[in-house]
Amino acid sequence: MSRTLTFRIFRFDPQLPGDKPMMQEYQLQEAPGMTVFIALNVLREQQDPTLQFDFVCRAGICGSCAMVINGLPTLACRTLTSNFNNGVITLMPLPGFELIGDLSVNTGKFMRALSERLQAWLNPKEVNQDMHRLERPMEPELADAIYESERCIECGCCVSACATAQMKETFVGAVGFNKVARFALDDRDARDAEEFYHIIGDEDGVFGCMTLLGCQDTCPKNLDHQGQIAYLRRKLSSPERII
């Protein structure tokens, strides 16, 4: 026998004059293997076409469907409704981002501004490279470490789970540290520890982290944020700032 789920969903459209934030309840019959993502689509198709939320891949790759589910920032497409024994599911938008409407937030605007601030792109040691030359080999261990950082899907869960980021808008946060670590690890990047220090070596950066590790607890890709923060702190606090 299927059970009836109760969804308590945050509703507010900042584009609509006079609209005020509220919680709205919906009931829905649970289906086998149902995720919060599937339930939201059913609600929008069958009950309320005005419901706003984001999704693209439904496979935990794009990060678009990130939201706060029963108090935990996570992905709707990877959260089974069967995980909630009482059948009551409360959905809120991710805090720390510009609200588009209801459960939809503008993570793209935030991530782009962060990348520009941190200069999150390769600064090659060789400026004039021969495009026809074979790529320089890289040690497998280094390639694996860089790939691990590249797995970030920029969903924003770590930002919303970070107490420091919620108290301080200028704090870089785990997603930013991950971006910097990716290039600090890369031996093709021309920047040294001193240059990275000027990017994140202050209270808005890696030394402002309170190490509560909400980022580690909520990352849907299980990235080693704790390890990345420790790596950057060691790199930037050494006397010569050299690893």
Output the pLDDT for position 125: 85
CATH code for the part of the protein at 4-104: 3.10.20.30
Q: What is the mean pLDDT of residues 110-135?
A: 88
Amino acid at 178: N
Q: How many CA atoms lie within 13 A of 186 on its CB side?
A: 23
Fold matches, 4-104 and 106-237:
no
Q: What is the mean pLDDT of the chain?
A: 93
Strand order in the sheet with 66-69: 22-29, 4-11, 88-92, 66-69, 72-75
What lies within 8 Å, CB to CB, of 124 at 6+ separation is 188, 189, 190
Domain boundaries, the chain: 4-104, 106-237
pLDDT tens digit sequence for 182-207: 999 999 999 999 999 999 999 999 99
- What is the sign, positive or negative, of the torsion defined by CA atoms of 193, 148, 98, 212? negative
pTM for this model (two decimals): 0.91
23-27, 56-60, 94-98, 173-177: which range is least confident on average?
Answer: 56-60
Task: Classify residue 46 as left (phi > 0), alpha (psi -120 to 50) or beta.
Answer: alpha
Q: What is the mean pLDDT of residues 42-50?
A: 97
pLDDT tens digit sequence for 67-98: 999 999 999 999 999 999 999 999 999 999 99
Superfamily grouping for domain 106-237: Alpha-helical ferredoxin (1.10.1060.10)
